[in-house]
Amino acid sequence: MQVMVAKTAGFCFGVKRAVEKVYEQIEKAKLPIYTYGPIIHNAEVVKDLQAKGVKVLSSREELYALKEGVVIIRSHGVGRDIYELLEKKGLDVVDATCPYVKKIHKIVREQCENGRKVLIVGNKDHPEVIGIRGWGDEETSVIESLSDFEKMRIPEGRRLCLVAQTTFNYNKFKDLVEKISKTRYDIIVLNTICNATQDRQIEAKEIASKVDAMIVIGDKDSSNTRKLYEICREECRNTCYIQTLDDLNPVCIMSACNVGITAGASTPNIIIEEVHTNVRIKF
């Protein structure tokens, strides 16, 4: 059996940076440590941090109730209101927001101030998108498809600005932009999909087109991993989505001559290596 592992698989820059910031605080251990939401979308990493004393705050109310401690802002970022609350509470803050996400916050704020209606292309329930929207105004909206855009009935001539969730499917974004650009609006389009996301999607598609079975590793709540799974499954119907080696059904790869492996941006290398080693040795 030949096994191909994507070179782009595993922690991206923003995720690695965020996780390292938490471990740095653990080493200092002067105050209780909290993350506002899971630091990244990977249950294994979050579980390890919790074992080391890091607590996850799940709501604004929990944040408001804090008396002391270090609050680490998750890699996905948060809205302006959370920063204001943290400042008001006088808590120690470590900002682990991915710099690429921070850039979108700045764009959204500036474009709203310039009078444009901002449309965020992404999943409205994803924490990154919720945070991005928190830097806009009451007109800032989220869309995932052309039908979402058409339902809004935006007045003709309205000045618009399109940005994207960093992990959105690049081809879907490109297709949506082409269709919206044909409408009669003054539109600024800013492709804010992370380069690492694009590279990962392109490589995953290429590998999946060459193998009999494809394994995509990542947390079930990871947006970028789910996108990888969708892309791979279009090329290889025999695609498995797993979080750890324990989730891998041997039947999926038993009869395969060529197996591909890729992983989401929040997947630790140790998990990728474990899957790779076991697939190579046992099958």
The rounded distance, in Å, linking the Cα atoms of 75 and 41 is 9
Active site residue 234: no
Please tell me the chain's helix, strand, coil percentages from 3-state DSSP, rounded to the nearest 5: 45, 20, 35
The rounded distance, in Å, linking the Cα atoms of 274 and 278 is 6
- The pair of structure tokens assigned to 175 is 């297709």
What's the count of helices (H) and strands (E) in the chain, helices before strands?
A: 11, 12
- The pair of structure tokens assigned to 68 is 């002391």
115: left (phi over 0), alpha (psi -120 to 50) or beta: left
Contact 281, 269 (CB under 8 A): no
Closest CA to 270 of 1, 19, 14, 2: 19
Q: Which of 24, 27, 44, 128 is catalytic?
A: 128
Phi then psi for 186, rounded to 5 degrees? -85, 105
Instruction: Name the residues annotated as catalytic.
Output: 128
